């Protein structure tokens, strides 16, 4: 079989990434992996848990669905470090992390309230 051209390979990779992003989003019940904000097929992005810049792969087990904001702010930060930064930001951390931290708090509180009243 003829090997794929660079363009064909890029198209194939992006199709897989899209499919894995949608698969991850379904597994995460359409909530951002980090801030738990509701996401849909238009707002979800494929985040590499281990960033590609530090040799993370394009495989499904390295891809989660995240909102664009979390994906941008996380950048190449390791998942564990980002999770720690948004769960318990240190004083002096960039405002973006505090915004995600507050969104996470609100989303968790809302989920708890929905559970208590029987919506979720």
21, 31, 34, 64: which one binds Zn ion (CB under 5 A)? 34
Sign of the alpha-carbon torsion through 101, 50, 28, 65: positive
32, 44, 64, 65: which one binds Zn ion (CB under 5 A)? 32
* Residue with smaller CB distance to Zn ion, 37 or 79: 37
Q: How far is the CB of 57 from Zn ion (least distance, A)?
A: 22
Give Dmax (Cα) for the chain.
59
Q: Is 57 left (phi over 0), alpha (psi -120 to 50) or beta?
A: beta
* Secondary structure of residue 43 in the 3-state scheme: coil
How many chain residues interact with Zn ion (CB under 5 A)? Answer: 6
Residues 45-84, mask of contacts with Zn ion (x by CB under 5 A): ----------------------x--x--------------
Q: How far is the CB of 31 from Zn ion (least distance, A)?
A: 8
Q: Nearest to residue 70, comparing CAs of 93, 42, 40, 104?
A: 104
State both tokens at 58: 């394009």
| 62 alpha carbon, distance to own chain's centre | 11
Q: How far is the CB of 92 from Zn ion (least distance, A)?
A: 22
The residues that touch Zn ion, with contacts defined as CB under 5 A, are 32, 34-35, 37, 67, 70
């Amino acid at each position: 079989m003829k090997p794929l051209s660079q363009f064909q390979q890029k198209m194939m990779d992006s199709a897989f990434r899209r499919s894995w992003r949608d698969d991850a989003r379904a597994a995460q019940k359409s909530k951002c992996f980090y801030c738990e904000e509701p996401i849909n097929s238009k707002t979800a992005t494929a985040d590499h848990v281990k960033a590609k810049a530090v040799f993370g792969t394009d495989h499904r087990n390295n891809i989660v669905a995240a909102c664009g904001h979390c994906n941008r702010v996380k950048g190449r930060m390791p998942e564990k470090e980002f999770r720690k930064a948004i769960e318990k930001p240190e004083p002096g951390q960039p405002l973006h992390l505090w915004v995600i931290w507050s969104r996470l708090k609100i989303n968790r509180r809302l989920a708890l309230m929905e559970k208590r009243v029987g919506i979720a």
